Chain A
Amino acid sequence: MLFSSITFLYVFLPVTLLVYYLAPKQAKNTVLLISSLLFYFFGEQEYTLLLILSSVSDYLHGLYIESRRGTKQAQAALVSSIVINLGMLGIFKYLDFFIGSINSLLGTAIPLSGLPLPIGISFFTFQTMSYTIDVYRDQAHAERSFHSFATYVCLFPQLVAGPIVRYTDIQAELNDRTLTLDRFAAGARRFAVGLGKKVLIANLLGELVSVYQNTPNQTVLFAWVSALAYALQIYYDFSGYSDMAIGLGHMLGFTFPENFRYPFCSRNITEFWRRWHMTMSFWFRDYVYIPLGGNRCSSMRWIFNVMTVWLLTGLWHGAAWNFVAWGLCYGLILLAEKFFLRNILDRIGPLTYVYQWIITMVMFTIFNGVDVLETLGIMFGGAALVDPTAVYYLKSYAVVLVMGIIGAAPVVKHIAEKVEHSPVVTVLEPLLTAGLLILSTAYLIDGSFNPFLYFRF
C-alpha cells in the first residue's frame, strides 16, 4: 500500500489512528502490529509470512546472542543471523541477477527463479541485521517481548521504504511512549509536507522524465532538463516518503531518524552523501566501513574499503549492472575528492555547487538505467541542441522545476523558523496542512502517475 494512495489516506490511516488512539496503552503495540501486518499484506500477500519469519528469526537470534554474549556461540549466532538475512536478500533480490549474469557471460541457459522482489526487503533486513549486530556488540539489549520486537520490525511507517530505523533508535519508545497533541500536530504537518513533496512535485517531475524517454527527437537541452527533473524527482519522492514516515512516527509516538538534510546544497559529493539517505549511509559506515578498518589503515586498504562500501551501496539499490556502475563511480569520485579534487573545489567558490549538481545529474542518469550510454551521449553533445518539443516542455514545467530547485534548499525552513512565533502562523500552519492534503488528494484523484521509486529497493 502506498502512502500516497486513497486506500491508505482515507481508509487505512483514519481507521488505524482512531483505533490506536482509542486503545488502552498496553494494547497500542498490538494495534500497531496488526495494522502493520495488514498494511504489508495489502501490497505483498505472499511475502507477509517471510516478514513474520524474519522477525521470529532475529528475535530468537537476539535472545540467544545476549544469553551467550562474549562466547563463540554468540559469534556463531551472529553469523547465522547475518547469513539468514543476506540469504533472504540473495534469494529474493540477487539470485536472478546472478543467474542472468552467468548466462550472459558463459552463454548458459540456467532458468531464472522468477521470484518477485518482496517490497521493502532491503530495509527490513538491514534493520534486523543492525539489531543482532548491536546486541552482539552489547550496544543494545535483546528485546524480551516478541510482540514488541515484531512491532519494531513490521512498524508500517518505515517498513517498506525507510528510513532505516535501528532498534536502538526506538527501543525506549517501543515500550513506553508519550502521545501529545503537539507531537500529533507536528506529525500531521510533516506528513502533509511529505505527501505534497511526493504528489505535487515528484510525480510531476516524473511525468517530465517519462515524456523525455518517449520523445523520438531527443536533444541536448531536453536530456539535461530530464536529468535535472529525475534527480529532483528521486529527491522529492524519497525525502517525501521519509517525511511521511517521520510524520506518521510522530503521530504514533515514535521519533525516527532524519534521512535527508538538503543534499543539493552540498559543495561536493562527499558532503552530498552526508546529507542524502543518511540512515543508509550511516548503516554502511557503522556495519561495513568501520568493521573493514575504515580509514585507519594503509591507503590501499582504505581504497579497498571505500570501493567495497560503494559497490555494496550500488547493489543495495538494485540488482542490475547500472547500480553496480553507479556505486563504483561514486566510490571513485569520493576517492578523487579525498586525494585531490577537494583542494581544487575549495578554490573555485560557488562553482563547486555547479560541480556537485552536474555530477549528481550524471550519476542519477546512470541510476535511472534507461538507455544510459545513449542519454549520456546526448547530454554531452550527441544530438541537436534544442527543438520546439524541448522548449515546450521546459516552459510547461518551468514553475515546477524552479519550485523543485528552491525547495531543495532550506529557504522555506529558514522562513518558517523566522515566523515560528508569529500569531499568523497559528492560522497559516493548519491552512497549509489541510491545503496540501486536499490538493494532493485532487492530484491523486485525477492522475495515474504515482510510482514510488524506492519501493523497488
Chain B
Amino acid sequence: MKLRSILTSLAFALPLLLLALFHIVLPDSDVSVTERRTLEQLPAFSSKAIIDGSYGEKLEEYLLDQFPLRDNLRSLKAFWQFDVYKQLDNNDIYRVHDQVCKLDSVLKTEEVTALIRNTNKIYENYLQGMNVFFALIPDKNYFVAEPNGYPALDYAQMEQLLQSGLNNEISYLGMTPFRALTIDDYYRTDIHWMQQSLQPVVDSITTALGTGSADLSTYTSSNHTPFYGSYYGQSALNMKPDVLTTLSNAVTDGCIVTGPELDEEQPVYNQADFQDMDGYNIFLGGPQGIVTVANPNGTTGRELVIFRDSFASSLAPLLMESYDTITLIDLRYLASVNVGKFIEFTNQDILFLYSTTLANSGKLLK
C-alpha cells in the first residue's frame, strides 16, 4: 500500500510540477505554425487588470497557448477522439480516406441573405449595365459529406436562395462551372482547390464570360513543398503535407501584381509568400482588400473584376490569357462603400466568385 501511495502521489504531483516548471523555463513562442495564428503572450500585470478580472482571463489564454508540448497534447486529444471515442469529427474536422474536411452543415439563411444584400448593393452602386456573373464554388463537403454519412449543407436550398435573391441582371452561373471537379481536385490538408486541376473551371468560366480559354497542359508546373494546409493544424492529426503546384507560362511570368497593401510590384507567384504561415499566399500575395494583376504585353483589351474569396487567387493567373487586367476585390477586407475609391467601373467583365463556405458566412462581407 505504501509503495502504491508513493507511486500514485508521484504520478499526480510530478506532471503538475514538471509541466509548470517547463512552462516557466521554456521560451514563449510568438506564433503557432501548425495552427496558423499568433499566440497569447504573458499579460501585463496591473492592479486595474487584476480588479476587473481581465488579467485572469488573459493569463488562462496565455497558459493554454504557451503550454509545453502543446502540439503533442493536441495530437493526443485528436487520437483519443478518433481512435478511442470513435468520434466522427474532432473540432468539426473529419477525415474521409486521406482528405481532411470541416463540417459546415447548417444552412445559415441570414448569412446567405447578407451576401445577397451585399452583392445587390455592389451591383446597384457600381455595376448597372455591365456584364455581371455570379458563380458559387463548392466546398469539400459537397463531394464527401453526404455520401459518407456526415451532415451536409443543403446546397440546393443555398442555390435557390441565391438565385431568387440576386438582382435579375446578374447572370447566375451557380455551381455549374464546377460540376467537373471532384474531391481529388482539392488539397488533402487545406480548404482550397488545386490550381493544376482547374482546366474544366477555366473552360467553363471563360465560356460564360465569352473569352478564349487557356490550355493548361502547355503550362509549366512548379512544385512547392511541404504545404501544410489550414486543416492540418486544426486537425492536429499526423498527416503527410501536400505538394502545392503552381502553373506558369510566358503570360503569367510577364504579369505584375500591384495593390495598396503591397510595398512593391510582385510576380503572380511569390516564393517568399509560400514561407508565410499560409503557403497558399504564394498566389497573388495572399488575402488583400484589392489587388490587380496586369499583363503589360496583353492585347485583348479586356478587363475583368472579380469579387472573391481566396479561391480566386489561384484561378486568376489562369485567366490572364483572356484579359489584360484582372482586379480582385475581397469585401472581407475592403468595405463596399470604399470600392469606388480604388477602381473605376467602365466596361469590365464582372464576376462574383464565392465559395459556399463564404456564402454561409456572408455577414463577413463589409
Contacts and interface: CB of A to CB of B under 8 A. Distances in A.
Contacts of B77: 439, 442-443, 445-447
A392 B4 contact: no
A389 B151 CA distance: 5
Given A399-B86, A430-B4, A439-B80, A191 B12 contact: yes
A29 interface: no
A192 interface: yes
A390 B6 CA distance: 47
A189 interface: yes
B361 interface: no
Nearest to B86: A399
A214 B88 contact: no
Chain A interface SS verdict (over half): helix
B9 A181 contact: yes
A445 B70 contact: yes
B3 interface: yes
A445 to B, nearest CB: 5
- Of the four ranges (under 10, 10 to 19, 20 to 34, 35 or more), the interface on chain B belongs to 35 or more
Contacts of A181: 2, 5-6, 9
Nearest to B108: A216
B15 to A, nearest CB: 6
B106 interface: yes
Chain B interface SS verdict (over half): helix
A441 interface: yes
Contacts, number: 145
A443 B85 CA distance: 13
A401 to B, nearest CB: 10
Contacts of B59: 7, 11
B16 A216 contact: no
B264 interface: no
Given A389-B105, A445-B73, A430 B60 contact: no
Interface stretch (B49-57, B113-121, B241-249, B338-346): B49-57
Interface in B68-94: 70, 73-74, 76-78, 80, 84-89, 91
Contact of B151 (A42, A185, A388, A400): A388
B3 to A, nearest CB: 6
Nearest to B90: A446
B364 interface: no
Interface stretch (B17-25, B126-134, B177-185): B17-25
Given A6-B63, A10-B16, A45-B50, A189 B8 contact: yes
A185 B88 contact: no
B219 interface: no
Given A191-B12, A441-B73, A6 B67 contact: yes
Q: In the A-B complex, list the 6 residue pairs whose CB atoms are closest, starting with the nearest.
A: A188-B12, A430-B11, A185-B5, A434-B11, A430-B7, A442-B73
Given A438-B73, A446-B77, 10 more contacts: A6-B63, A10-B63, A17-B13, A181-B2, A181-B6, A189-B8, A189-B12, A392-B150, A430-B11, A446-B91
